[in-house]
Amino acid sequence: MDASLLQEPRSRTSRAAAIYDWVDDRLDLTGLMAHAREKTVPEHKHAFWYYWGGISLFFFMVQVLSGILLLVYYRPGAEAYESVRQITYDIQFGWLVRSAHSWSANLMVFAVFVHMFSVFFMRAYRKPREFGWWSGLALLGMTMVFGFSGYLLPMDDLAYFATKVGLEIPASIPLVGTVITNLVRGGSEITSTTTQRFFALHVVILPLLYLPFLAFHVWLVQKHGNAMPPGEEAKPVEERRTIRFFPDFFAKDLGMWLLSLNVLAILASLYPWQLGPQADELASAPVGIHPEWYFMSQFQVLKVFGRWFPGAFGEYLGIVVFTLGLVIWALIPFIDAKGRNGKWAKAALYIGLIAVFGMLATTIWGYWDL
């Protein structure tokens, strides 16, 4: 046999090695891998909650990919409804992409909320992770605006009326509320102009704002590592357990993504997202119209205050209570700054419990009250 044939495999390996060396010289891949292997992740009975940030990120990536596909066929403006109708009924796989986009949006909001509360109860906002907490809150806010702006785009009657009542939330902000609302709406009513504005917000402005915050947030996680819950931190170092970040935690994180993909695929294919009749502003609103579930809590708070204190005062009061809650929530790293388990730590725990149960209760109340 020709000797060069026998040598072929070896030369191929050495070529691959040469390419690796070339890249390694410039990007220090070996150092990066060594770092990934050295890095560890705490392992304890609450470790399940570590996955939720990754799950949120996964759904965000699905949003980007499916969103780009929808962008190809969606036409904001007068043809908005017709283009979504084509995506849903005429274009091959269109219904699946749209359904995946809508479902993963909802799953993402859910995952972000779970992530936020798990971070809260693990006290992962304490020093040095304050900026992680704040950037996370900013990302949550933007995620909700993403959801709100995307919901209108199909311009079916549910989207139209839900957006109409949803805009009552910003409109009730004292002084600037009306101005802001008219600005995003493009007038005093929701029209095809509104879809153009929401579209610009949804696919250009928000992504531009979101991505730097996301990069910052992920970089912080990388820098500070996973926070341990107080119970775990109290243990002596030799009793704490860890697993390697790479490949062990990494494999499990990918496994969690695979599970999330399964959940998404089952929901998107068995319960495809529906498209209602075209929005008709002259028609009466369907009974029990309400914003998406993740706005239900705020919606209900405003509604109830409006009922208890009729007129603008009630609305202002609702907004004030809400803003106050948000400010306290953002200031948690300062309120519970001492670390360990002092009285402020206990206060923070109560604040967290009030927030979880308050949101759940007002959301359920909201649906009850339709």
Partner 1 sequence: MNYPFWDVPYLSGGGVIGLIATYHLLIALFAVGGGLYLPLAERKALKEGRDDWFGVLKSHSKFFLILTAAFGTTSGVGIWFAIGLANPEATSTLIHNFVFGWAIEYVFFIVELTTAAIYYYTWDKIDPKLHLKIGYVYAASSWLTLVIINGILTFMLTPGSTWLSVAGSGNEASVFWYAFFNPTYFPSLVLRTLISWNLAGIWALVTASRLDGFRHGKLKHEIISWSAKWLIPGFVLVPFCFLWYLAMVPEAQRQLLDLGISTIGQGTFTQITRSALITVMTSATIIALVYFVAVRNSKSFGLGWAISLVLLAFAATASTEQAREMLRKPYVIGDFMYSNGVRKSEVEKYNAEGYLTHSSWAANSVKGFYSDSETIEAADLKKGELMFRGQCGACHTEKGYRAMNNLLKDRDETAIGNILQMLHENKDDSPYRKYMPPLVGKDDEIKALAAYLKQISVNASK
CB of 260 to partner 1, least distance (A): 11
Q: How many residues bind partner 1 (CB under 8 A)?
A: 28
Whether residue 105 contacts residue 63, with contact meaning beta carbons closer than 8 Å, is answered with yes
Closest CA to 286 of 117, 164, 143: 164
Helices and strands (H and E) in the chain: how many: 17, 2
Cβ neighbours of residue 6 closer than 8 Å, sequence gap 6 or more: none
- Tokens in use for 257? 């993504």
168 lines the binding site for partner 1 (CB under 8 A):
no
- Selected from 174, 212, 231, 277, the binder of partner 1 by CB under 8 A is 277
- Collapsed DSSP state (helix, strand, coil) of residue 274: coil
43 lines the binding site for partner 1 (CB under 8 A):
yes
- Selected from 234, 254, 283, 360, the binder of partner 1 by CB under 8 A is 254
Q: Which is nearer to partner 1, 261 or 304 (CB)?
A: 261
Interface pattern 284-303 for partner 1 (x via CB under 8 A): --xx----------------
240 lines the binding site for partner 1 (CB under 8 A):
no
CB of 266 to partner 1, least distance (A): 6
CA torsion angle for 326, 328, 332, 335 (degrees, to 10)? 170
Q: Which stretch binds partner 1 (CB under 8 A): 172-180, 228-236, 268-276, 361-369?
A: 268-276
User: Helices marked H in 74-167 — which ranges?
Assistant: 80-89, 94-121, 130-152, 157-166
- Selected from 251, 283, 321, 360, the binder of partner 1 by CB under 8 A is 251
Q: Which is nearer to partner 1, 68 or 266 (CB)?
A: 266
CB of 45 to partner 1, least distance (A): 8
Compute and round to an integer the Cα radius of gyration of the chain. 25
Q: Which is nearer to partner 1, 39 or 252 (CB)?
A: 252
Residue labelled with tokens 């900013």: 138
Interface pattern 86-105 for partner 1 (x via CB under 8 A): ------xxxxx---------
Query: In the chain, what is the straight-line distance between the N-terminal and C-terminal CA atoms, in Å?
Result: 83
Whether residue 46 contacts residue 122, with contact meaning beta carbons closer than 8 Å, is answered with yes
Q: Which is nearer to partner 1, 65 or 351 (CB)?
A: 65
265 lines the binding site for partner 1 (CB under 8 A):
yes
- Per the omega criterion (within 30 degrees of 0), is the bond before 128 cis? yes
270 lines the binding site for partner 1 (CB under 8 A):
yes
DSSP states of 238-252 as a string?
Answer: GG--EEEIIIIIHHH
- Judged by the rule CB under 8 A, the positions of this chain that interact with partner 1 are 43, 47-48, 92-96, 241, 243, 247-248, 251-252, 254-255, 258-259, 261-262, 265-266, 269-270, 274, 277, 286-287
